[in-house]
Amino acid sequence: MADSITVEIPAPGTQPDFHFPPYVSSIARSPRQPLIVLPQTLSNCAGPVFGHSIINALDHDLTVQHEAPPVGERIIVHGRLLDEDGRPIPNALVEVWQANAGGRYRHRVDQGEAPLDPNFSGAGRTITDANGYYLFRSIKPGPYPWRNHYNAWRPAHIHFSLFGAGILSRLVTQMYFPGDPLQPFDPIFNSITDEAARNRLIARFDIERSEPHHALAYSFDIVLRGSKDTPFEGPHR
């Protein structure tokens, strides 16, 4: 039998509650009974291992996936995937998806008024290197209205999915941009009641990594566990 391990419980307010009434969709999607914590063993910690062969050379660049460049402000998003001790997590699959510059997803459910961009699909993926580093090239997503409450708008954001060795399940989070005036009004962002934890979802503007006459850069490190872990989502939009 495998040895048992200790799983650290996140501090209150540092992860979003499944049931958060200001985010109306969470009411129907969340459990009403206390969650049952199952004991973890070392065998549960072995996640899948991905090879670079499953990633095409341009999967990380959302601006060159079609015949012409997409409309919008070009950006670079980069960072490191780390554990609770600051050690890099290599060979993890990192996926992103996002709305276009007008705030619309290329998805049949999104029937918003903003136009679709024929040169932007809004999805990419990459594998972290030996230092846990990843990089994406994209365009800055636009905010968009949604029907959660009166005059509801989601701030600009990019969805991240993480999956790999040492990650017990697929983890999903969102990256936000600094200085966005919509963040104080967004119930998904504010479902993380601890301010310090909430601010860990906001990327850092990186002038050093920005490319002259081409793209602005944002740095976004993702910490999987520990007191400085990145908040991860329950139900999300």
What is the set of active-site residues?
A: 105, 144, 154, 157, 159
Determine the Cα–Cα distance for residues 67 and 117; give it in Å rounded to an integer.
12
SS3 per residue for 185-237: HCCCHHHCCCHHHHHCCECEECCCCCECCCEEEEECCEECCCCCCCCCCCCCC
Q: Where would I find the beta strands (DSSP E) of 43-176?
A: 74-82, 93-97, 123-127, 133-139, 144-146, 152-154, 157-163, 171-176
CA 37 to each of CA 7, 9, 34, 40, 89: distance values in angstroms, whole numbers, following the listed order: 10, 10, 9, 9, 25
| SS3 state of residue 133 | strand
Would you give the DSSP letter of residue 29?
H
* Token reading at 177: 């941009």
* Token reading at 8: 């650290």
Q: Decide if 63 contacts 98 (C-beta within 8 A).
A: no
Determine the Cα–Cα distance for residues 73 and 139; give it in Å rounded to an integer.
5
Please identify which residue in the block is written with the tokens 């699909």. 121
